[in-house]
Copies of this chain bind each other. A is one copy, B any other.
Amino acid sequence: MTYETAIAALADPTRRTIIDRLRGGALPVGAIADGMPISRPAVSQHLRVLSDAGLLSVTPSGNRRLYAIAPEGVDELRSYLDTLWDDALAAFKRAAEDQAKGTSE
Contacts and interface: CB of A to CB of B under 8 A. Distances in A.
Contacts of A38: none
B8 A11 contact: yes
Interface in A64-97: 68-71, 74-75, 77-78, 81-82, 84-85, 87-89, 91-92, 94-95
Contacts of A95: 25-26, 68
In this complex, the interface size class of chain A, counting residues with CB under 8 Å from chain B, is: 20 to 34
A102 interface: no
23 contacts: A4-B16, A7-B10, A7-B11, A8-B11, A11-B11, A23-B84, A23-B87, A23-B88, A23-B91, A68-B91, A68-B92, A69-B92, A71-B85, A71-B88, A71-B89, A71-B92, A74-B81, A74-B85, A74-B88, A77-B81, A78-B78, A78-B81, A78-B85
